[in-house]
Amino acid sequence: MSQVVQLSDYRETHLEESEFVCSDSRVPIEFALGYDNRDECIAKIAEYGVRSIQIRMINEEPAALFYLMSVKDAIWLNKKILEQEELDDEEIAQRIDLIQMLENINLPMMDSMWESFTRQGNH
């Protein structure tokens, strides 16, 4: 199963659009933002105007879903959080480390990994 959720359908766009297209590799939103709570991730994604996330079902566990976002959007979003939010020194350091990890991610390997254990299409 592969489904794209258009967050713009649920709220007004008031911040600038992401300068990136979502044609690069994807990462789980929890990893992309450094939060372990999916609802917190979705709220932050919507707050900053990221336009889409992709939902994929794990092959072996049809009830288990991954919420994925573009690596480029994840980098853009983390930079916006650094620019616009009041963060303490530890949070700033963690956000910078996260951006560096995302910038150095092996995109073909990530794509291959998602393809190997997630289902695409309308299954």
Ordered per-residue pLDDT tens for the chain, 123 residues: 556 666 655 554 443 433 333 347 888 999 999 999 999 999 999 999 988 898 888 877 778 888 999 999 999 999 999 999 999 999 999 999 999 999 988 777 777 776 776 765 443
Check residue 121 and give its pLDDT: 43
CA distance 109 to 63: 25
CA distance 100 to 75: 9
In angstroms and rounded to an integer, the radius of gyration of the C-alpha atoms of the chain is 14
Amino acid at 53: I
Cα distances from 5 to residues 15, 39, 78, 79, in angstroms, run 19, 14, 20, 23
Check residue 26 and give its pLDDT: 87
CA distance 70 to 93: 22
Check residue 101 and give its pLDDT: 92
Check residue 17 and give its pLDDT: 39
Could you tell me the two tokens for 54? Answer: 């992709």
Amino acid at 56: R
